[in-house]
A = this chain, B = another copy of it.
Amino acid sequence: MSSQIPAIVSNRVSDAAKETIDIVAKFVEEECIPADPVLEAQVGEGDGRWETHPPIIEDLKAKARKLGLWNMFLPKGHYAESPGWTNLEYGLMAEWLGRSRSASEACNCSAPDTGNMEVLAKYGNAAQKEQWLKPLMDGKIRSAFLMTEPDIASSDATNIQLDIRREGDEYVLNGSKWWSSGAGDPRCKIYIVMGKSDANNKDPYRQQSVILVPSETKGITIHRMLRVYGYDDAPHGHGQITFKNVRVPVANMVLGEGRGFEIIQGRLGPGRIHHAMRSIGAAERALDWMLMRVNDERKKPFGKALREHGVILEWIAKSRIEIDAARLVVLNAAIKMDEQGPKKALKEIAEAKVLIPQTALTVIDRAVQSFGGAGVSQDTPLASMWAGIRTLRLADGPDEVHLQQMGRNENRRGKKVAEHILWQQKRTAELMKAHGVEQVEPGSRIQRSRL
């Protein structure tokens, strides 16, 4: 709730945002979280899982719209329909959304639709917006972003192979994609596809294009859904899809041929903040569950409630510290993005991208451990939250790729720093001389006394 906003940012959050945060919190805690198992039950079993649209989601969406909780993610000033929240303000809302499986979708703020809507809003032309952005913003359809491919190292997007070839008034697409999240949903009507339209371009960052492909276009085959640990995440799902001579009109190209990198880079900043803040919310919920467990009067191993065990108290305290530190890192990135734009905030966003999933996983794993068997099972939200967040250490590039890049960036000042330290050492030598002293070194008189 707004009363829990860290002191460090409270003066940047408008009163309207604070009110909305309170509404979001109440909606999530009282409507969405109780609805999550209902949603799961409505998804059901077997092949039907991929054909359902759980009715309770539409109930929640109706309630959310009534409460004014709709499309909150759209950045301030970014688009006419934007409710006008800053990244900071929406970030604080997203934390609450992250506590529930259904909440983001209920408020039309769920990935990958949010990023896709941003792409269409920022880079789409009027016709593209009319056809796809409108129903997306209205929650009528869903979308997927098809970038990662099974046969290459996708963390380096220049490797992407899906072929986009122009033939007259059409583009013809051939290739394979996987981890196409959301492609399982029967309401997923539009794919935003990254592919290679100009493989011979000397600039490796001008070879790619992004193009719109309706999901029911001929030549598209959904082969299967990838599991995340044992979860299939139906009906959303993570699809493996092939394109065989899939044809779309040239009008479906976004922004223009060769501008794919530009588009995906513009898409990443806010999405990373959203993911990170939702993960913070998940970690907070895991901590809540851990508190519930350690106060369970029925479960006292060796005669003491878990809350009296020193190791557990330390877990709780460390979780509190780590979550709070991680949240500040995300909010700092959000504010920098708000004030100076995503490009200037690259470092801060990368810090959040790496730090937050690891923090959340650590906290959730402690909660799992405190629950014993129940922790790994379907009886707590912990195991599935853990699995979901585990993918964030891989999605949009594994931690290690980001760390290498951050290390290189940090080292840009290496040469200057080295020169500065040498200057300081020279200055020390001058001062030594001026003060008539020498550095005291142990054993420096050995020679004189012995040889």
Task: Indicate if the CB atoms of A331 and B8 lie closer than 8 Å.
Answer: yes
Partner of A299, one of B152, B291, B387: B152
| Minimum C-beta distance from A166 to chain B (A) | 25
Q: Which residue of B has the minimal Cβ distance to A382?
A: B229
Chain A, interface size category, equals: 35 or more
A46 contacts B by Cβ under 8 Å: yes
A80 contacts B by Cβ under 8 Å: no
Task: Indicate if the CB atoms of B417 and A154 lie closer than 8 Å.
Answer: no
- How far is B387's CA from A428's CA once the two chains are assembled, in angstroms? 23
- How far is B410's CA from A428's CA once the two chains are assembled, in angstroms? 48
Residues of B within 8 A of A329 (CB): 321, 324-325, 328
Query: What number of copies of this chain does the assembly contain?
Result: 4
Task: Indicate if the CB atoms of B404 and A313 lie closer than 8 Å.
Answer: yes
**Taking A313-B408, A432-B37, A443-B239 as contacts, is the C-beta distance between A152 and B222 under 8 angstroms?**
no
Proximity bits, A30-58, B CB within 8 Å = 1, else 0:
10011111101111111101110001100
**Taking A37-B432, A369-B393 as contacts, is the C-beta distance between A292 and B414 under 8 angstroms?**
yes
- CB-CB contacts below 8 Å: A239-260 with B: 239
- How far is B443's CA from A50's CA once the two chains are assembled, in angstroms? 6
A265 contacts B by Cβ under 8 Å: no
Task: Indicate if the CB atoms of A313 and B417 lie closer than 8 Å.
Answer: no
- How far is B318's CA from A130's CA once the two chains are assembled, in angstroms? 44
Task: Indicate if the CB atoms of B8 and A9 lie closer than 8 Å.
Answer: yes
Task: Indicate if the CB atoms of A317 and B55 lie closer than 8 Å.
Answer: no
Tell me whether chain A's interface is mostly helix, strand or loop, or mixed. helix
Residues of B within 8 A of A93 (CB): none
Partner of A56, one of B34, B38, B431, B449: B431
Residues of B within 8 A of A33 (CB): 424
- How far is B394's CA from A315's CA once the two chains are assembled, in angstroms? 16
- CB-CB contacts below 8 Å: A355-384 with B: 355, 368-369, 372-379, 383-384
- How far is B295's CA from A378's CA once the two chains are assembled, in angstroms? 37
Looking at A70-78, A120-128, A273-281, A334-342, the stretch in contact with chain B turns out to be A334-342
A296 contacts B by Cβ under 8 Å: yes
With A229-B386, A295-B411 already in contact, 10 other A-B pairs whose C-beta atoms are closer than 8 Å = A8-B8, A40-B439, A47-B445, A224-B442, A292-B414, A292-B421, A294-B411, A324-B348, A324-B351, A369-B400
